[in-house]
Every structure is written in C-alpha cells, then in structure tokens.
C-alpha cells in the first residue's frame, strides 16, 4: 500500500512538472502538507522543515548582522522616520546634510550589531515547533514560516534588541547626534519638531528588516534546489 501511494505521488509530481514548466518547491510543499506524512514519516518531515528553517534563519542573521548588512541593503536600510522628514529636509537646506547622513549610518550600525542576538531566539522557536505548526507552514504561503517567527519571537526579539540598540546608538554617537540635530533645528526659525523615541524606532525597523530577509531566505528554500544545502533537505524537499 505504501509503495503504491509513493508511486502515485511520484506520478502526480512528474505529470505536473511536465505539464507546467513553472513547477516548483512551493507547489510540492503544499502537497507535502496534505499527503507526505504517510510516505516520508511525520518525524522526518518535521525535522526537514526545522533544518530548513535553521538554515534560513542562520543565513538571515548572518546577512543582517554584518557590516553594511542594513546600510547597503536598500530593501531594509533604516532611514529617517517619517515624523522627522521635515527635520531631514530642513537640515539639508541649511547645509547640514552630512550630519543627517552620519545619523542614518549610526542607526543602521546599531541594527547590524543587534541582529546576531536573534540567532538563539530563532533556534528556540524552531525547537518549540510542533508537527501541527510544521503542517501549517508546509501548507501555507511563501512566507508562512516567517509569519510563524514573527508571531512567536517578536516580543523576545524586541526585549533582546532594545538594550543592544540603546548601547550601540550611544557608542556610535547617534544619541548625541540626534540631540545636536534637534538643537540645530530649533535654532532655525521656520522648523519645528518634537522629540522622538529613536531607540524604539530603530528596534522596530531592525526587526522589520530582519523578518524581510528571513522571508527572502524562506522563499529560496521553497523554490531553489541550490538553497537546500543538507542531505535531509535534498531528500525530503527534492522528491
């Protein structure tokens, strides 16, 4: 019976691949969520998914937690908050653009230094994953795993990132720069700006950027065979 089911599944996959050149891992994962436990074993599928998520989150942390991990990635680069855009444009108008640029660099450096603290938190979330969680992720959309991490880790990541961001913003001079920028703005008659919680802003944007990169890594593992870097991933996800 098992052999027959396996052959039927293989025939279905082969027919789909021949009929549609766009056949990819995402479609297969949806099928896994419905059929594979009887063929591959729930434990093996669950372990493969956890291994895939370990690879993806490790890559995401490595990509964001390095020099220019945020600053050079236009998709996640931390810019001046919208509430302070008047501040930015006004300062550039009066010749203080270089100070604004230094401020932006400092915010991104703080995020880059905080990112490595996500690794252990992601590992804990993966370890706590049940097979029901795995089934929902396998049968979900392109970023189902990322949403799982966002739901399960945001509070812990915020708590872990905030002291690091506060410390690093101080070390790279962002807090001092911000106070100086505010003082300069308040000396310009036509500019008005209230104080802003830069620490909270940087933490929130750092997490947004991290989850964006996690989602990109998840899409690679779902769709790109080259991203399946272990024997287990190739065995389970390559069927």
Nearby residues of 57 by Cβ (< 8 Å), 6 or more positions away: 118, 119, 122, 123, 126, 149, 214, 217
Which of helix, strand or coil describes residue 35?
A: helix
14 pLDDT exceeds 90?
Answer: no
* Closest to 65 in 3D by CA, of 108, 123, 36, 94: 108
What's residue 95's pLDDT?
80
Mean pLDDT of the 127-146 span: 86
Nearby residues of 196 by Cβ (< 8 Å), 6 or more positions away: 81, 83, 84, 178
Mean pLDDT of the 50-75 span: 94
Average pLDDT, the chain: 76
- How far apart CA 93 and CA 91 sit, in angstroms, is 5
Q: Which tokens go with 190?
A: 């036509």
Q: In 10 A of CB 54, how many CB atoms?
A: 16
What's residue 177's pLDDT?
73
Q: In 10 A of CB 202, how many CB atoms?
A: 27
- How far apart CA 235 and CA 45 sit, in angstroms, is 10
- How far apart CA 186 and CA 223 sit, in angstroms, is 52
- How far apart CA 233 and CA 229 sit, in angstroms, is 7
Q: In 10 A of CB 113, how many CB atoms?
A: 22
Q: Which residue has the higher pLDDT, 65 or 4?
A: 65
How sure is the predictor about 115, in pLDDT bands with cuts at 50, 70 and 90? very high
* Closest to 195 in 3D by CA, of 87, 95, 105, 78: 87
Residue with token string 């620490």: 199
How sure is the predictor about 231, in pLDDT bands with cuts at 50, 70 and 90? low
What's residue 78's pLDDT?
97
What percentage of the chain reaches a pLDDT higher than 90? 36
Nearby residues of 202 by Cβ (< 8 Å), 6 or more positions away: 78, 107, 110, 111, 165, 169, 174
What's residue 165's pLDDT?
93
How sure is the predictor about 98, in pLDDT bands with cuts at 50, 70 and 90? confident
Mean pLDDT of the 73-94 span: 82
- How far apart CA 226 and CA 100 sit, in angstroms, is 41
Q: Which residue has the higher pLDDT, 6 or 42?
A: 42
What's residue 68's pLDDT?
98
* Closest to 70 in 3D by CA, of 102, 100, 113: 113
- How far apart CA 45 and CA 97 sit, in angstroms, is 53
How sure is the predictor about 10, in pLDDT bands with cuts at 50, 70 and 90? very low
Angle between helices 25-35 and 131-138 (to 10 degrees): 140
The string of pLDDT tens digits covering residues 164-176 is: 999 988 876 777 7
What's residue 141's pLDDT?
84
Q: Which residue has the higher pLDDT, 223 or 72?
A: 72
What's residue 186's pLDDT?
63
**pTM for the predicted model, two decimal places:** 0.74
């Amino acid at each position: 019976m098992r052999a027959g089911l396996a052959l039927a599944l293989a025939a279905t996959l082969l027919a789909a691949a021949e009929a549609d050149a766009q056949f990819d891992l995402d479609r297969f994962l949806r099928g896994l969520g419905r059929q594979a436990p009887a063929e591959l074993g729930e434990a093996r599928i669950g372990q493969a998914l956890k291994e895939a998520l370990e690879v993806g989150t490790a890559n995401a942390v490595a990509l964001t937690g390095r020099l220019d991990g945020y600053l050079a990635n236009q998709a996640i680069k931390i810019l001046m908050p919208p509430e302070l855009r008047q501040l930015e444009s006004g300062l550039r108008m009066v010749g203080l653009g270089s100070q604004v640029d230094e401020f932006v660099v400092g915010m991104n450096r703080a995020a880059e230094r905080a990112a490595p603290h996500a690794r252990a938190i992601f590992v804990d979330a993966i370890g706590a994953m049940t097979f029901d969680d795995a089934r929902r992720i396998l049968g979900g959309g392109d970023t189902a795993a990322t949403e799982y991490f966002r739901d399960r880790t945001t509070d812990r990541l915020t708590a872990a990132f905030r002291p690091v961001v506060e410390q690093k913003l101080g070390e790279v001079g962002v807090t001092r720069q911000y106070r100086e920028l505010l003082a300069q703005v308040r000396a310009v008659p036509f500019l008005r700006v209230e104080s802003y919680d830069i620490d909270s802003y940087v933490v929130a944007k750092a997490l947004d950027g991290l989850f964006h990169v996690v989602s990109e890594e998840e899409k690679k593992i779902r769709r790109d065979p080259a991203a399946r870097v272990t024997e287990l991933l190739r065995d389970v996800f390559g069927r």
